[in-house]
Copies of this chain bind each other. A is one copy, B any other.
Amino acid sequence: MGSTVADPNVHQVNFPTPRSFGATFKSHCKETFFPDDPFRQFRNEKSFDKFKKAVQYFVPIYEWLPNYNLRTFKFDLLAGITIASLAIPQGISYAKLANLPPIIGLYSSFIPPLVYAIFGNSKHIAVGTVAACSLLLAHTIGEKVSPKDDPTLYLYLVFTATFFTGIFQTILGLLRLGILVDFLSHSTITGFMGGTATLICLQQLKGMLGLTHFTTKTDVVSVLHAVFQHRDEWKWQSAVVGVVFLIFLQSARLVRKKRPNLFWVAAIAPMVVVIVGCLFAYFAHADKHGIQIVGHIGKGLNPISIKYLNFKSEYLGVTLKAGIITGLIALAEGIAIGRSFAIMKNEQVDGNKEMIAFGLMNLVGSFTSCYLTTGPFSKTAVNFNAGCRTAMSNIVMAICMMLVLLFLAPLFRYTPLVALSAIIMSAMFGLIDYEEIYHLFKVDKFDFVICMAAFFGVAFISMDYGLIMSVGLALLRTLLYAARPATCRLGKISDSNLYRDTEQYPGLTRMPGVLVLQLGSPIYFSNSNYIRERIFRWIRDEEDIVELKGSIVEHVLLDLSGVTSIDTTGIETLIEICKMLNAKEIKMVIINPRLDVLEKMIRSHFVDKIGKESIFLSIEDAVEASLFSLSKDKQYQVTGQLDFF
Query: What residues on B are CB-neighbors of A484 within 8 Å?
Result: 28, 31-32, 35, 179
A42 to B490, CA, bound (A): 27
Query: What residues on B are CB-neighbors of A35 within 8 Å?
Result: 484, 530, 533-534, 537
**A24-60: which residues lie under 8 A (CB-CB) from chain B?**
25, 28, 31-32, 35-37, 40
Contact indicator B479/A565 (Cβ below 8 Å): no
Nearest chain B residue, comparing its CB with the CB of A521: B521
Interface SS of chain A: helix
Contact indicator A182/B533 (Cβ below 8 Å): no
Contact indicator B486/A444 (Cβ below 8 Å): no
Q: Mark A536-579, 1 if CB is under 8 A from B, else 0.
A: 11001000000000000000000001111101110110001001
Contact indicator B576/A503 (Cβ below 8 Å): no
Contact indicator A505/B540 (Cβ below 8 Å): no
Size bracket, chain A contacts: 35 or more
Contact indicator A529/B482 (Cβ below 8 Å): no
Contact indicator A524/B478 (Cβ below 8 Å): yes
Verify if A216 is at the interface (C-beta below 8 Å from B).
no
Query: What residues on B are CB-neighbors of A442 within 8 Å?
Result: 603-604
Verify if A236 is at the interface (C-beta below 8 Å from B).
no
Contact indicator A482/B478 (Cβ below 8 Å): yes
Query: What residues on B are CB-neighbors of A505 within 8 Å?
Result: 14
Q: Mark A574-617, 1 if CB is under 8 A from B, else 0.
A: 00100110011000000010111010100110000000000001
Verify if A285 is at the interface (C-beta below 8 Å from B).
no
- Specify which of B11, B526, B563 is in contact with A498 (CB 8 Å cutoff): B11
A9 to B215, CA, bound (A): 71
Query: What residues on B are CB-neighbors of A594 within 8 Å?
Result: 486, 488, 501, 504, 520
- Specify which of B36, B440, B447 is in contact with A537 (CB 8 Å cutoff): B36
Contact indicator B520/A183 (Cβ below 8 Å): no
Contact indicator B568/A447 (Cβ below 8 Å): yes
A526 to B186, CA, bound (A): 10
- Specify which of B183, B439, B527 is in contact with A526 (CB 8 Å cutoff): B183
Nearest chain B residue, comparing its CB with the CB of A478: B482
Contact indicator B525/A187 (Cβ below 8 Å): yes
Verify if A496 is at the interface (C-beta below 8 Å from B).
yes
Contact indicator B600/A443 (Cβ below 8 Å): yes
Given A595-B501, A603-B443, A569-B186 contact (CB < 8 Å):
yes
Query: What residues on B are CB-neighbors of A28 within 8 Å?
Result: 484
Contact indicator A569/B525 (Cβ below 8 Å): no
Verify if A214 is at the interface (C-beta below 8 Å from B).
no
Contact indicator B445/A483 (Cβ below 8 Å): no
CB distance from A82 to the nearest CB of B (A): 27
Given A35-B533, A486-B596, A504-B594, A479-B480 contact (CB < 8 Å):
no
- Specify which of B525, B536, B604 is in contact with A185 (CB 8 Å cutoff): B525
A500 to B484, CA, bound (A): 26
Verify if A351 is at the interface (C-beta below 8 Å from B).
yes
Nearest chain B residue, comparing its CB with the CB of A335: B529
CB distance from A30 to the nearest CB of B (A): 10
Contact indicator B533/A36 (Cβ below 8 Å): yes
Contact indicator A567/B447 (Cβ below 8 Å): yes
Q: Mark A458-502, 1 if CB is under 8 A from B, else 0.
A: 000000000000000011001111111110100001001110110
CB distance from A328 to the nearest CB of B (A): 14
CB distance from A431 to the nearest CB of B (A): 18
Contact indicator B351/A486 (Cβ below 8 Å): no
- Specify which of B343, B521, B526, B583 is in contact with A182 (CB 8 Å cutoff): B526
Contact indicator A504/B565 (Cβ below 8 Å): no
Given A36-B537, A501-B594, A533-B35, A525-B483 contact (CB < 8 Å):
no
Verify if A446 is at the interface (C-beta below 8 Å from B).
yes
Nearest chain B residue, comparing its CB with the CB of A32: B484
Contact indicator B522/A182 (Cβ below 8 Å): no
A478 to B533, CA, bound (A): 21
- Specify which of B522, B572, B595 is in contact with A481 (CB 8 Å cutoff): B522
A604 to B440, CA, bound (A): 9
Contact indicator A569/B187 (Cβ below 8 Å): yes
Verify if A636 is at the interface (C-beta below 8 Å from B).
no
Verify if A346 is at the interface (C-beta below 8 Å from B).
yes
Give the interface centre of A348, A520, A583, A603 by most chain B CB atoms within 10 Å: A520
Nearest chain B residue, comparing its CB with the CB of A37: B537
Contact indicator A568/B343 (Cβ below 8 Å): no
Verify if A21 is at the interface (C-beta below 8 Å from B).
yes
Query: What residues on B are CB-neighbors of A564 within 8 Å?
Result: 481, 485-486, 520-521, 562
Verify if A310 is at the interface (C-beta below 8 Å from B).
no
A183 to B595, CA, bound (A): 26
Verify if A618 is at the interface (C-beta below 8 Å from B).
yes
A444 to B18, CA, bound (A): 12
Contact indicator A346/B584 (Cβ below 8 Å): yes
Which 4 residue pairs spanning A and B have beta carbons closest together?
A562-B562, A185-B525, A520-B564, A346-B583
Additional pairs, 5, CB under 8 Å, beyond known A182-B527, A501-B594: A182-B528, A343-B576, A481-B565, A497-B497, A521-B522
24 residue pairs A–B, Cβ–Cβ below 8 Å:
A11-B498, A31-B486, A35-B533, A35-B537, A36-B537, A37-B537, A179-B483, A182-B483, A182-B530, A183-B526, A185-B569, A187-B568, A343-B579, A442-B604, A447-B569, A474-B525, A475-B479, A481-B482, A481-B524, A485-B564, A486-B565, A498-B617, A521-B564, A562-B563
